[in-house]
Amino acid sequence: MRNFLATAAVALGLTACASQAPTPTQPAAPAPAAASEPKAPQCWNGDAGKFMAVGTQTAISGVAVVCEKTGDGKNAQWMGAKH
């Protein structure tokens, strides 16, 4: 029994040493610098197949709409155009 426990401990130790990842030779590249200006919210126009800037007025599927910022200012959505 002691022989079995000793053999198991040695096998476990060798397995743990063998599974360790080698240290990297080069340091990791620094993260890219964030853009100085955040990207402005836009609305997707499926009819045109592109994003439209806030304030753009257009007709989507025959309905007059305008791209407006959401309440939090982080996104934009199409709203019915005001007459």
Q: What is the pTM of this model?
A: 0.51
User: What are phi and psi for residue 60, nearest 5 degrees?
Assistant: -110, 120
Q: Identify the sign of the CA torsion 48, 49, 50, 53.
A: positive
Question: What pLDDT score was predicted for residue 36?
Answer: 60
Q: What is the structure's pLDDT at 24?
A: 66
Quick one: pLDDT at residue 10? Answer: 80
pLDDT per residue as tens, the chain (83 positions): 778 878 887 877 777 665 566 666 776 666 666 556 678 899 999 888 999 999 999 988 889 999 999 999 899 999 997 76
Distance CA 8, CA 49 (A): 64
